Structure 1
Amino acid sequence: MPKLEAYDRSLSYSYAPGIFPSTECLRACPERCLRLLVSSAAEHSEGVRSLAQASEAAGVRVEVADRALARIAHKDNCFAAMVFEKRESELSADGAHVVLHHPSDSGNLGTILRACLGFGLRDVAIIRPAVDLFDPRVVRASMGALFSLRVRHYDDFDDYRAAFSQHALYPFMLTGAVPVEEAAEKAVRPFSLIFGNEASGLPDAFAQLGTSVLIPHSSEIDSLNLAVAVGIGAYAFTRRR
């Protein structure tokens, strides 16, 4: 087997650090699993042993690789990591979408992916430039949710819109015209929930696209964290289905 490299965006593979993310990778997409790395400090623990047995049963090579784990996770308590093939998916033509416009924080992106899966929104579009979807920090923050979602990148929003012109657009903005509860109540399916960059939000032009949505909050803060906003929007738009 070739020597594994420290993660870089240009690689054709990435890592799912942690026992649970690795387990989710193996469960959801075993065909993408290339090998399982385990720590010598935990190879006999119940969690690692169970994961290793499942990996071997699926034909995935298991190897003790302490140094590789240290490079991947940048911490001492990472006891396993699945090496997996990077791959994007086609989004559902008639499903609800979450659209992330230039997301820049790996922790936020991972948390958003987990929230999307939790609320049954399995299609996520990412508009470039954006943080690396396959960065191990994103994978870990998602707790493996990435592997149960359909995620695809687009070079700009126009490309996404051209591919899904039938979707009703709901851009979330600080200047949104309709409160989130009302927008969700009257939502037209299939819909796209659109969220902007952590620092700058969506460009003003998005206010003219579809129905702009406002999440009301107190004047004590200037805005909500992106992952929090996505969680609120996802809950509001899916709770009545």
Structure 2
Amino acid sequence: MPTIFLESRDNPKIKHLRGLIEQNTYRKKQGQTVLEGTHLVMAWLEKDRKINSIFTTEHALAHPDFEEIFSRYPGTVFVLSESLYKDLSTLGTSLACLAIVDLPTNTPALNFTEDTLILENIQDPGNVGTLLRSAAAAGIEQVVCTRGSASLWSPRVLRAAMGAHFSLHTYENIELEDFLKQFKIPVYVTSSHEAESLYSKNLRKQCVWILGNEGQGVSDFALKHADAVCIPQPGGQESLNVAVAGSICFFEMVRQRL
């Protein structure tokens, strides 16, 4: 296993790594992103996907988790000082492991007859990642993000999704008005106003779920072109976290289909 020690913050490889971690525009320009943590890196390798480079620390190299990673990754490992790694890391306490990978480029065309999750202007990376994780677990394979949503392939969303990306077809920066009417299956939005109970709907066949902004909910366009459902809340809370609400919807769908 070849290793190269990098010490300077001004090293071109460190600057490239930092740009991918911090800047969405740089990730798009380079066609790359960063996976952080050995769990995420192993999930990527288990899908037989290529890693371009790995960054870690001398202390972490001796950890058993790296043995399996290095058995699948033949390239050079870049070793950073603890202080330099902490300056780059977004996790803080996990085993030091940052991997640069290429963004997927072979996503098939959107299928308008299959289960689909649409995220409309959801901005919190944690919420986006959790929704992707729940969608994948529920068997939904298509996820569409409109403009204004958190970047699907940002390190923070990747971390929250815990590898869900790798079994999903994802589409970003799309205007809802450009494609929503093309679906040939029921479309549902979550709403607390003038909506029927989620549990009154027949969800046994393919459908579309639209989840909206954390504060403002879904747009008027989405409400106009979809069937609004609400989640009964006997406790009287005004609303649920969007990732919690979406997960409840997905698994009610799963329950009905079992």
TM tier, smaller: 0.7 to 0.9
Deviations 1:30-89 (A, max 9, x none): 14x222222321111111221122222xxx443323435641426253421221112363
Q: What residue is the counterpart of 1:198 in the other structure?
A: 214
Matched, 1:5 2:17: yes
For 2:195 and 2:133, locate their aligned partners in 1 and report how far apart those are by CA, in whole Å.
28
TM-score, with length taken from structure 1: 0.87
Matched, 1:27 2:46: yes
Alignment root-mean-square deviation, CA = 2.2
Matched, 1:133 2:149: no
Q: Is the 1:29–1:147 contact (alpha carbons within 8 Å) kept by the matching residues of 2? A: no
1:104 Cα deviation after fit: 0.4
Q: What residue is the counterpart of 2:186 in the other structure?
A: 168
Matched, 1:82 2:99: yes
Q: What residue is the counterpart of 2:9 in the other structure?
A: none
SS of the aligned residue for 2:191 comes to coil
Matched, 1:98 2:113: no
1:219 Cα deviation after fit: 5.2
* Structure 1 unaligned regions, length at least 5: none
Q: Is the 1:166–1:190 contact (alpha carbons within 8 Å) kept by the matching residues of 2? A: no
For 1:237 and 1:144, locate their aligned partners in 2 and report how far apart those are by CA, in whole Å.
22
Q: What residue is the counterpart of 1:63 in the other structure?
A: 78
Q: Is the 2:113–2:206 contact (alpha carbons within 8 Å) kept by the matching residues of 1? A: yes
For 2:207 and 2:195, locate their aligned partners in 1 and report how far apart those are by CA, in whole Å.
17
SS of the aligned residue for 2:100 comes to strand
Amino acid in the other structure paired with 1:171? V
Q: What residue is the counterpart of 2:62 in the other structure?
A: 44
For 2:53 and 2:90, locate their aligned partners in 1 and report how far apart those are by CA, in whole Å.
16
* Structure 2 unaligned regions, length at least 5: 5-11
For 1:208 and 1:188, locate their aligned partners in 2 and report how far apart those are by CA, in whole Å.
23
Q: What residue is the counterpart of 1:236 in the other structure?
A: 252
Q: What is the percentage of aligned positions where both structures have the same residue?
A: 22
Q: What residue is the counterpart of 1:18 in the other structure?
A: 37
Task: Specify the structure having the higher radius of gyration (Cα).
Answer: 2
Q: What residue is the counterpart of 2:7 in the other structure?
A: none
1:165 Cα deviation after fit: 2.7
SS of the aligned residue for 2:208 comes to strand
Distance 1:29 1:73, change over 3 A: farther
Q: What residue is the counterpart of 1:152 in the other structure?
A: 171
For 2:140 and 2:59, locate their aligned partners in 1 and report how far apart those are by CA, in whole Å.
38
Amino acid in the other structure paired with 2:166? F
For 2:119 and 2:42, locate their aligned partners in 1 and report how far apart those are by CA, in whole Å.
26
For 1:45 and 1:210, locate their aligned partners in 2 and report how far apart those are by CA, in whole Å.
51
1:115 Cα deviation after fit: 0.8
Q: Is the 2:148–2:173 contact (alpha carbons within 8 Å) kept by the matching residues of 1? A: no
For 2:154 and 2:57, locate their aligned partners in 1 and report how far apart those are by CA, in whole Å.
21
